[in-house]
A and B are shown apart, each in its own frame.
Chain A
C-alpha cells in the first residue's frame, strides 16, 4: 500500500510532507498524553483455601452396576460457584471410574434456555441439567423429556428421606408418585443482602457491619457516599437491564416489612395481589427518591446483574443489593477490595418478617429421559445426597448455594463473611405454602400463563427512568389489573383444557408467614 512508502513525488511535496509531520507530531502527543497508570495493580492472586474439615472427596463404591465401556456424561448447569464444586468433584469421580469421562458445562441461563428448549426436541439435551424458567417441571414430565429418579436409584425412598421437609413436593418435584427433580441445595439464602464496600462506608455515622439500616437510612447513606465520592463513585448500583434488577430488592424489603408473598406476589392468606399495598408503594417511592437524589450509579439503567456486580469491586459504588454468591469471586479476583454485608434495609428493624420460599429446593437437577447413563447419574446423585457429599459441596460453594441438608450447614466451617450470610439465611427464611402442591392442576395454570407485560420489574424501570409519568400508586393499580388479567386468563384457559382449578386454590387461611408451613409437605 502506497501510503506506507516514505518516498515523495515531485508534485505538491512541501505541504504534504509538512502535513505528515504534523500528523506525526500530533499522534506522538496523543500517545504521550494517553498513558494509563496500571503499575500499582498486582496480578490476580491464587484462590484461597478453607482450613478445617477434610476437603478430600472420597467417592464411595457404587451401589449400582456402572457401564463397563468408555462413556461420557454431559452435565450442564448455571455454573458460577457451583462450578467450584464440580471442578473438584468430577475429576475425582473420573479417577475412581476411569471408563467414565464428564463434560461439565457451567454456563449462563440464556445458554441453558437455548440448549434445553432445543435439545429436548431432538434428544441432544445433556444427560443432567437444570430446567430453564420457560419450562416447568410438569411440562417436562408430561412431554416425556425427563426421567424419574425412582427408576434409576434402587433405594430411592431412603435417599429421599435424608432431605428436610419441603425439599420434595407433589406438583413441584414429584409427579404421579415419582420424583423427577433432585434439589441439591436449599433455599435458606437471602438473595438481596446489603453488600457494601467497607472502605467507602468507613467514615459514615453509621456502622453498616453491625447496624441494620432503616429505609430512610438507606437513602441518607447512599447520599452521603455519593457526596463523599464527588463523581469518583456513587452510593448504590443496580442492574436494571436484567429482570428483577430493582424489583428484587423492593420485593425483599416489602416482604420483610410484612407484605406476605412479596411486592408483586399473592398474599396466600387472602389470595389477592400485593402491588397496591401502601408498603409496596412506599418502598418504590423510596427507590425513586434515592434516584432523584443522584445517589445511583449512572450506568445502572443499562447494566445487567453481572455488569452491576462487576462494577462493585472496581470501587464505583458503595452499596449493592445482591446475593452471597458474590463474596468469594470478588475476594479472589480483587484482593484489594474489602466487602461487608448485612440484612437489606428494614422498614422497622425491630420487627423483621422472614422471607418465604417455595418447596422443591433450589439447584434442582433433572436428567434427560434419553440418557443411556442412568446408573452413572444414580451413583453421582446418591453421593451428593449423603451428608458427606453435602458437606463437601458446602465447603466449596459456601454461602452462595447452601447445602440442602441443615446438618451439613451446621457442620461447615467457612470464613466469617460467608458464615454471616449463611446464618442470616437460616434465620430469616421460612417455607411457604404452594398452591400446586395442594392441587396439582395449578401447575397447568402456570404452563399457560402469559406474563403480565409490562411486568412489575419493567414497570419499576419505567418509573425509574421517568418513562412512566403517572404516580406510583396509579402505576401499581394498573399493574394489579394486568396481574389479575394474566392469572384469570390462565385459569380460564387451563380450565378449558380440563384442569380443575379456581381462584380459591391460591388461598391458605391458616398460613402464618412467620412460621414454616410444613404441614403441606409432611410425608
Chain B
C-alpha cells in the first residue's frame, strides 16, 4: 500500500524497458569534475537572470514550510494573523504541549525503527529480484514481469482488509514487525527497475571469470555484483526511506489496537481531535515530524542525485 506516498510506486517493468537505460562507462568520476564555468559575458548575464527568477520562486516554493514553522510559535489566536514570519513574542509552549500531548518522542523512535528496517529489507529484496530479472534467464520470467507490471495499474487502498487479516493470522498484529513486513511487501517497481537495468548491462566477463575461479551463483551475486551496485543501493535507500517515513495508511490500520506503536505521520493525524483543532499545536507537531526528514535529505542529497545519476548512467 502506498497511499500515503508516491515515491516507491510506479514504473512498469517490461523486459524491453529494462534495456532502455543507455549503457555507458562504469565510473562516475569522469562527470564529477566541474566543467570550467563559461566566462563569456553572455553566460554571466544569463546566470544572473536565472538567479533573479529562481530566488523568488524558491522562496515561494518553501514559503509554506516557513509559514508552518512561524505559525508553530504563535498563539492559536494569531495563526491567521498575517503573512509575516516572525512573531514578536514566541510561544514555545506549543512545542512543549505538542510534544507531551501528541507523545512525539515515542513515535519518533517507532518511525526510525520502521523506516530503517523497511529500507534494509527492500534493498535486499529488490536487489535480489532485480538481479534475477535483469541478468538471469529462467522459466517463468516473462510471466513474472507481466504480473509485476499489472500491479502498477491496480489501485490498492481497499485491499487493506486482506492485508489486515493476513497480519492477524501471522500473529503480527500490534507489532512494529508487522508494519515493516507489510511495507516491504509492496511492489517497489522503481527500485526493482533500477537494479535490473544496472545489473543487466554489466559485462559478461564478471561472471565468467568468477565462475572459472569456482565461485557459485550466490557468491557471484553477493561478492561481485551487489558491491558493484553501490550507486543504485544508495538511491534505493533514500527513495525507500522517504517512502517509509511518510507512509500513512498501513501504519495507521496496523497500529489501531496499539496506539503506542504509531508512527509520526499517523500520530500527527490523530492529533487532530474530534471536536477541537489547535492550529498552532498542529503546526508545531508537523514541524517536529517534518524537520528530521528535511535534515536527512539535506545531509544526503548529494549522494541522492549522484546515486540516481550513477544508476541511470550505467
A313 and B77 form a contact (CB under 8 A): yes
| Residues of chain A with a CB closer than 8 A to B276's CB | 80, 306, 309-310, 329, 333
Interface residues of A in 290-345 (CB under 8 A from B): 305-307, 309-310, 313-316, 325-326, 329, 333-334, 336
The one of A35, A108, A125, A326 in contact with B273, judged by C-beta atoms closer than 8 angstroms, is A108
Does B270 touch A at the CB level, under 8 Å?
yes
Instruction: Report how far A292 CA is from B55 CA in the complex, Å.
Output: 42
A79 and B278 form a contact (CB under 8 A): no
Which A residue's beta carbon lies closest to that of B254? A118
| Residues of chain B with a CB closer than 8 A to A314's CB | 76-77, 79-80
| Residues of chain A with a CB closer than 8 A to B80's CB | 314, 316
The one of A33, A38, A80, A316 in contact with B75, judged by C-beta atoms closer than 8 angstroms, is A38
Does A34 touch B at the CB level, under 8 Å?
yes
Instruction: Report how far A329 CA is from B256 CA in the complex, Å.
Output: 27
Does B61 touch A at the CB level, under 8 Å?
no
Which A residue's beta carbon lies closest to that of B174? A124
- Given A12-B44, A15-B48, A334-B77, are A121 and B91 neighbors across the interface (CB < 8 Å)? no
| Residues of chain A with a CB closer than 8 A to B6's CB | none
A19 and B91 form a contact (CB under 8 A): no
The one of A79, A108, A326, A333 in contact with B76, judged by C-beta atoms closer than 8 angstroms, is A333
Instruction: Report how far A108 CA is from B275 CA in the complex, Å.
Output: 8
- B107 CB, min distance to chain A CBs, angstroms: 15
Which B residue's beta carbon lies closest to that of A325? B275
| Residues of chain A with a CB closer than 8 A to B44's CB | 12, 15
| Residues of chain A with a CB closer than 8 A to B259's CB | 105
Does A351 touch B at the CB level, under 8 Å?
no
Contact segment of B81-89, B109-117, B148-156, B179-187: B81-89
A38 and B168 form a contact (CB under 8 A): no
Instruction: Report how far A401 CA is from B174 CA in the complex, Å.
Output: 33
B88 and A37 form a contact (CB under 8 A): yes
Which A residue's beta carbon lies closest to that of B83? A34
* Cβ-Cβ contact count across A and B, 8 Å cutoff: 141
Which B residue's beta carbon lies closest to that of A12? B44
Does A217 touch B at the CB level, under 8 Å?
no
Interface residues of A in 2-48 (CB under 8 A from B): 11-12, 15-16, 19, 23, 26, 30-31, 33-39, 41, 43-44
B275 and A125 form a contact (CB under 8 A): no
| Mask: chain B, 40-81; 1 = CB below 8 Å from A; 0 = not | 000011011001100100010000000000100011111111
A43 and B256 form a contact (CB under 8 A): no
Instruction: Report how far A16 CA is from B37 CA in the complex, Å.
Output: 13
Which A residue's beta carbon lies closest to that of B301? A1
A36 and B81 form a contact (CB under 8 A): yes
Instruction: Report how far A179 CA is from B209 CA in the complex, Å.
Output: 78
Interface residues of B in 250-279 (CB under 8 A from A): 252-253, 256-257, 259, 270, 272-279
| Residues of chain B with a CB closer than 8 A to A465's CB | none
B168 and A122 form a contact (CB under 8 A): yes
Which A residue's beta carbon lies closest to that of B87? A38
B77 and A306 form a contact (CB under 8 A): no
Which B residue's beta carbon lies closest to that of A9? B37
Interface residue ranges, B against A (CB under 8 Å): 37, 39, 44-45, 47-48, 51-52, 55, 59, 70, 74-91, 93, 161, 164-165, 168, 173-174, 252-253, 256-257, 259, 270, 272-279, 302
Given A124-B173, A124-B174, A124-B257, output 11 extra A-B contacts at Cβ < 8 Å. A31-B85, A36-B70, A43-B93, A107-B274, A108-B273, A108-B274, A122-B164, A124-B168, A126-B257, A306-B276, A314-B80
